[in-house]
Amino acid sequence: MTRFLSRWSARELVVIGVFAAASKVATLVVALAGGGLNPISLMGKNLIFTTLLVVMLCKVRRPGTLLLFTVINIIVSMLLLGASVTLLPPMLLGALVAELAMWPGRRDGGVWNPVLGAAVFDVVSKVLSVGVSWLFMRENPAMMVMVVPFVAIGYLGSVGGLFSGVKAVKELRHAGIIHE
Amino acid sequence: MRASSMSSRLVGTDMGRDAQKSAALDTRSRMFVTLLASVVTIVISSFEGQMILFAASLLYALSIRRYRALFIAYGFMAAMMGIAALFTFGISKVMPSMTFSLTSLAVPFLRGAVMLNVVLPLALTCRVQALLTALKSLHLPFCIYIPGAVMIRFIPTFMHDIRQVSETLKIRGYDLSFGEMFRHPLMMLRLLFTPLLFRSLRTSEELGIAAELKGLEAEGRFVPFASSAWTRRDTLLVFLAAATAVLALYCHFRWGAVPVHGMR
């Protein structure tokens, strides 16, 4: 366990922390700018989150990075932002399934393995978060009818984020900021 | 004369600061309250239990005396709840099987209000350094502490960066209004997001090199910049929070078992 936890260098851990902060701030700003229940801002914040996730996974190519990123996001959100403990299972499970999906291609240098990881993480965490929404609104099932389309719209943004992530990584490789 | 008045003023300021410091609660106790509230508010599905949580959390939020911030936050939340209620009303008209009643919306809305009441004191009273010290005192593994600390440290910096980027865009003649965000969402995202991505990469490169040069590693020993102090007030806060949670749970199981207008 200790060996697993000490596999990341300080530089890689800093990258994970910076990207966690950037994703939190960017999604928060887009959500606030769009005024909450706005489909465009909902798509936009998911697009930004997935793009940042793909870039981070290309920058830190080590199995377990997505899981660590998720754990840090959850810890900080729970302790400081009052995010519910119920977010923990869907996010963790999503990250675990994504890590499993990325395991066979862990030695590939291309962009497709991180894209696969981000795609699996988005699908699993979104599906499970609908279950969490039910837990929050179980007193009024009518509100669930409103939640499901919004999660679906958010997922469309995540799909767009996969494409913009690939594009961003290509540009960053061309600029020499991300190496093979 | 002047020197003595100056020194007395300085002493007065120091004393005031000391008094303020002793009156402030430790970040860990506030974190505990937030965490406890997020768990208990999900468990309790009765109006009675939620009302107890709401009343106690409102007193906690009022204790920081930031009435303006609290008023703005409540205004924003009321607007969001109004939109949600309108949507629910619309759905009930389209699908008659889904009945609409304000009482059934009360519990989900109270959950949101309870979380707002506990998050605001944490967000408005704790400084970044206090959060970092609290995080260190939790004895988390190195691979979780470093990214967590970097994340907490850089959230305000990125906020500042976004403000600067938007100011730069305004100077260059771009319209960043709400309507423009609707008309050209992709362009707006690109204009705001690309500088942030490059900034993230540059910051991570610089900080990573600095961390390596400073010899940060898993077996390294860190000494926090400031030590945190757990006082009697913190113990009292934790005790009151736990007592409120127990009382709310008791009320939920004792009186909240009978459904009211489709609630539970």
* Segment A101-144, tens digit of pLDDT: 999 987 887 888 999 999 999 999 888 888 877 776 666 666 67
Q: What is the pLDDT of residue B246?
A: 93
Q: What is the pLDDT of residue B6?
A: 43
Structural domain includes residue B104: yes
Q: Which of A22, A59, A136 sits opposite B158 (nearest CB)?
A: A22
Interface test with B, best of A5, A81, A140 (most B CBs within 10 A): A140
With 90 as the cut, is the pLDDT of residue B239 above it? yes
Tell me which amino acid residue A152 is.
A
Residue B2: how many CA atoms within 13 Å on its side-chain side? 0
Higher-scoring residue by pLDDT: B13, B64:
B64
**Mean pLDDT of all residues in chain B?**
77
Interface test with A, best of B135, B201, B203 (most A CBs within 10 A): B201
Taking CA–CA distances from A24, the nearest residue in chain B reads B155
Evaluated on CA atoms A114, A120, A123, A129, the torsion sign reads negative
Chain A residues with CB inside 8 Å of B147's CB?
Answer: 13-14, 16-17, 20, 68-69, 72
Higher-scoring residue by pLDDT: A67, B79:
A67
> What is the total count of domains within chain B?
1
The whole-angstrom separation of Cα B219 and Cα B249 is: 43
Taking CA–CA distances from A70, the nearest residue in chain B reads B144
Chain A residues with CB inside 8 Å of B208's CB?
Answer: 10-12, 14-15
Q: Do A76 and B197 touch (CB under 8 A)?
A: no
Q: What is the pLDDT of residue A51?
A: 92
Q: What is the pLDDT of residue B19?
A: 43
The whole-angstrom separation of Cα B96 and Cα B94 is: 6
Structural domain includes residue B36: yes
The whole-angstrom separation of Cα B23 and Cα A146 is: 45
Alpha carbon B22 to its chain centroid, in Å, reads: 22
For chain A, the domains span 2-174
Q: Which of A5, A76, A82 sits opposite B152 (nearest CB)?
A: A76
Structural domain includes residue B72: yes
With 80 as the cut, is the pLDDT of residue B136 above it? no
Q: What is the pLDDT of residue A163?
A: 92
- What average pLDDT score do residues A140-159 get? 80
Tens digit of each residue's pLDDT (9 = 90 or more) over B146-170: 888 888 878 778 888 888 888 888 8
Q: What is the pLDDT of residue A151?
A: 84
**Mean pLDDT of all residues in chain A?**
83
Q: Do B208 and A14 touch (CB under 8 A)?
A: yes
Scanning the structure block, which residue is given the tokens 């505990």? B32
Least confident of A23-37, B30-44, B164-178: A23-37
Higher-scoring residue by pLDDT: A173, A87:
A173
Reduced 3-state DSSP string for chain B: CHHHHHHHHHHHHHHHHHHHHHHCCCHHHHHHHHHHHHHHHHHCCCHHHHHHHHHHHHHHHHCCCCHHHHHHHHHHHHHHHHHHHHHHHHHHHHCCCCCCCHHHHHHHHHHHHHHHHHHHHHHHHCCHHHHHHHHHHCCCCHHHHHHHHHHHHHHHHHHHHHHHHHHHHHHCCCCCCHHHHHHCHHHHHHHHHHHHHHHHHHHHHHHHHHHHHCCCCCCCCCCCCCCCCCCHHHHHHHHHHHHHHHHHHHHHHHHCCCCCCCCC
Least confident of A60-69, A115-124, B136-145: B136-145
Q: Do A48 and B158 touch (CB under 8 A)?
A: no
Q: What is the pLDDT of residue B163?
A: 85
The whole-angstrom separation of Cα B60 and Cα B63 is: 5
Q: What is the pLDDT of residue B220?
A: 64
Q: What is the pLDDT of residue A83?
A: 62
- What average pLDDT score do residues B71-81 get? 85
Express as a percent the part of chain B with pLDDT over 70: 81
Structural domain includes residue B19: no
Least confident of A162-171, B8-17, B80-89: B8-17
Which residue range forms the structural domain that includes residue B111? 27-255
Tens digit of each residue's pLDDT (9 = 90 or more) over A10-54: 888 888 988 888 888 888 777 776 655 677 778 888 898 999 999
Most confident region among A138-152, B218-232, B240-254 by mean pLDDT: B240-254
